[in-house]
Structure 1
Amino acid sequence: MSIVHKATLTPSKNEIFGAWLATQTWCEGDLASMIGSYRFDDPAGRVGIECVLLEVGESVVHLPVSYREAPLDGAEDFLMATTEHSALGTRYVYDACADPVAVRALLAAALTGATQEPMDVYDQGRLVERRDTVVTAVGTGSWSPDAVPHLDGVTIRSHGATPRVEAGGFTVTVKRVADGSEAEGDESITVAWPGGSGALVAVTHL
């Protein structure tokens, strides 16, 4: 279960994502709307992990992000923005490809065959809504969760439309633009949204 707080963000997610995408050379067009997102949980409950699908120009953009209560050491170049969350205070929003907690969550989902977490909305500690699933995500693997390595850090080998990150003896590849081709690896995360589907995250053993 992924807990989502009923809250306002200043600036909003759309403002954060739109401003960040406008600086990316691989992204063409303006942010039109958010299609939906899927989440995997941080087992420690400290880092929010969300993979957002956006309509940008004529494309569907897949954007993994992480939300932290404090800056992530060594990831200054991957900070998208800071935002004020009306329930949680200041949140630091990162490109999740540079966040070891987020990368491990994607790695674990691909290797173990996990599905996205249901999104339960809480207001002042009270469950008020379980959001309908617009975007689904499921891993292809059959590993035991105990076999997934813990990560001390990640090494970004390429960054752009298709980032490649080395972590714990694996390469994790993310497709940022859903263009009909699929991320290739030993295991993957298949994502489905209204009007499309495909493997947008892949994992390869080094």
Structure 2
Amino acid sequence: MALLHRAELRPSKLDLLTTWLPGRPWFAGTPGAEATRVASYRFDDPAGEVGIETILVRAGDGPVLQVPLTYRAAPLAGAERWLVGTTDHSVLGPRWVYDASGDPVYPPALAAAVLADAGQAEEYFEVDGRREVRAPSVTLTGGRADTAPAFDLVDEVVDGDPTLIRAGGAELALVRRPAPADASAAARLTGSWAGQVDPVLLAYVR
């Protein structure tokens, strides 16, 4: 489960992405346009320390881009390459925001969704001691694989579209520009959201 806070972020996630996205090799969109949110979904960190959120955004008239992010209370050693930026959370304080593909908590969570249909984290607010659940904005459908490679220890991450996360001879592919899900592979993750009725391919294992 993901506990959300009614908080203010300075700068906002979208402000960070507006600056960061144009430098990515897989970026597509209107030059100089602000990033706008299309939908999002979250995974759980088993340790409960790191926020894991995938935001689907668009820059101007460009295509939908898939951007998984992790939120940490302190810098992640050796991950400067993956740093999106820092922000001040009005409840939690300073947060370091990373491209999740380079954060070790993300590949196992994504692999569980792709290979075992683990689904997304339930999102909720605490309101007067009661749990107020927020309805998901993305419908995810994972696969079922006979064998499930482990992605706990990543050997290499190759940024591109797809972004390739390699571990132990297996390859987890994160689709940066989600496309129609016409692939027949069982080990895949698809999603749909308001305005995107037909599922699109979000990730797969090969």
TM-score normalized by the length of structure 2: 0.86
Q: Deviations over 1:53-80 (max 9, x none)?
A: 1122231111111111111122101100
Match for residue 135 of structure 1 among 134, 138, 142: 138
Which residue in 2 is equivalent to 1:99? 103
Which residue in 1 is equivalent to 2:201? 199
Q: Distance in 2 between matches of 1:182 and 1:90?
A: 42
Q: Distance in 1 between matches of 2:74 and 2:185?
A: 33
Letter aligned with residue 85 of structure 2:
A
Which residue in 2 is equivalent to 1:49? 52
Contact 2:52 2:71 in 1 (8 A): yes
Q: Distance in 2 between matches of 1:142 and 1:26?
A: 28
Q: Distance in 2 between matches of 1:119 and 1:150?
A: 25
Contact 2:107 2:151 in 1 (8 A): no
Q: Mind listing any 5+ residue stretches in structure 2 that lack a counterpart?
A: none
Contact 1:3 1:121 in 2 (8 A): yes
Distance 1:77 1:167, change over 3 A: same
Q: Distance in 2 between matches of 1:185 and 1:101?
A: 25
Contact 1:120 1:127 in 2 (8 A): no
Which residue in 2 is equivalent to 1:63? 67
Contact 1:6 1:122 in 2 (8 A): no
1:20-169 map, 5 Å: 20-27=20-27, 28-29=29-30, 30-56=33-59, 57-122=61-126, 126-127=129-130, 129-141=132-144, 149=150, 151-156=152-157, 158-169=158-169
Residue 26 of structure 1, CA deviation:
2.9
TM-score normalized by the length of structure 1: 0.86
Letter aligned with residue 2 of structure 2:
S
Identity of paired residues, percent?
A: 37
Residue 181 of structure 1, CA deviation:
6.1
Q: Distance in 2 between matches of 1:97 and 1:185?
A: 22
Q: Mind listing any 5+ residue stretches in structure 1 that lack a counterpart?
A: none
1:7-26 map, 5 Å: 7-26=7-26
Q: Deviations over 1:73-127 (max 9, x none)?
A: 221011000111111111110001101101110011111111212210236x844
Q: Distance in 1 between matches of 2:74 and 2:183?
A: 31
Contact 2:15 2:35 in 1 (8 A): no
Letter aligned with residue 202 of structure 1:
Y
Residue 4 of structure 1, CA deviation:
1.3
Which residue in 2 is equivalent to 1:174? 174
Q: Distance in 2 between matches of 1:70 and 1:8?
A: 19
